Chains A and B, each alone.
Chain A
Amino acid sequence: MKIFDTAFGLHEKALNLRAQRMEVISQNIANADTPGFKARDVDFKNVLNNVQQSGSLRATHAGHVRHAGSAGADLVYTVPFSTAVDGNTVDISVEHAKYGKAAAEYQATLRFIEGNIAGVRKALRGE
């Protein structure tokens, strides 16, 4: 059905991306005590632009870090406020804040999709 292909618009892809970003941040939190671990993040704006242009996630640059299992979201290394002696660049409080924000953003995208579903449902009922 054509209507469902486009009903959720960009939000469907955005939701995937938001979940992926949360995964990357949870990786950072998990490795907060791992020597030499470099904190990473998803360049959301950049990736979403690529998605809009190509319709799918892809690496557009040879230097893009590919993340395991993902559709190839572009990962970037974060610039740490301070580096530990063991080379770890995870700022646990910053990652915590990021994780909370990412969760809120995920819920926001979810709300948009819920709105879309409600709209389609209303249209189908024909009230």
Chain B
Amino acid sequence: MSIANIFGIAASAMNAQMVRMNSTASNMANAGTVGGSAEDAFKAKRPVFQALLHEHQLDQGAQFLGGVKVAGMVDDTAAAKKMHDPGSPLADKDGFVYSSNVNEVTEMVEMMGAARSYQNNVEVVNTARELMMRTLDITKA
């Protein structure tokens, strides 16, 4: 049943976009945090999407065929900013703290991209639902 499949595909995409939006929210929330070393500083997290084809589907045990999944999360590789703040309890012996590498502008763009993609998939579901109802009405012809 192809039309029913569309719901699953769009749902998997909406789920993936939600993960993206969540990671953006988490990045924004942690934008101002500092760490005692470059390694301890918060790194912006981003999801990596992967298309679900037939082979992958069987391992996933999903009820539908196709769609998209979050294959994993990767850290942004941008360097942590080094700031001189001897008063901070996290400062190293030279008085430096390392702030997160989150770029607020990038995160805003990511958030808007995720929201738009989410909307696209909502639209897909709406159309599919409408067609399904029309198909059910075929008996009334």
Give the shortest distance, in Å, between B46 (CB) and chain A (any CB). Answer: 11
Name B's interface SS: helix
Q: Does B68 contact A (CB under 8 A)?
A: yes
Contact indicator A30/B127 (Cβ below 8 Å): no
Contact indicator A30/B131 (Cβ below 8 Å): no
Contact indicator A33/B113 (Cβ below 8 Å): yes
Q: Does B103 contact A (CB under 8 A)?
A: no
A111-127 interface bits toward B, Cβ cutoff 8 Å, 1 = contact, 0 = none: 00111011001000000
* A68-B65, A110-B134, A117-B141 given; A31·B113 CB < 8 A: no
Within 8 A of B (CB), among A68-101: 68-70, 92, 96, 99-100
Q: Does B124 contact A (CB under 8 A)?
A: yes
Contact indicator A30/B57 (Cβ below 8 Å): no
Number of B interface residues, CB 8 Å? 38
Cα-based distance from A41 to B51 in the complex (angstroms): 15
Give the shortest distance, in Å, between B74 (CB) and chain A (any CB). Answer: 11
Cα-based distance from A33 to B81 in the complex (angstroms): 29
Interface residues of A, Cβ cutoff 8 Å to B = 16, 19-20, 22-23, 26-27, 29-35, 37, 66-70, 92, 96, 99-100, 103, 106-107, 110, 113-115, 117-118, 121
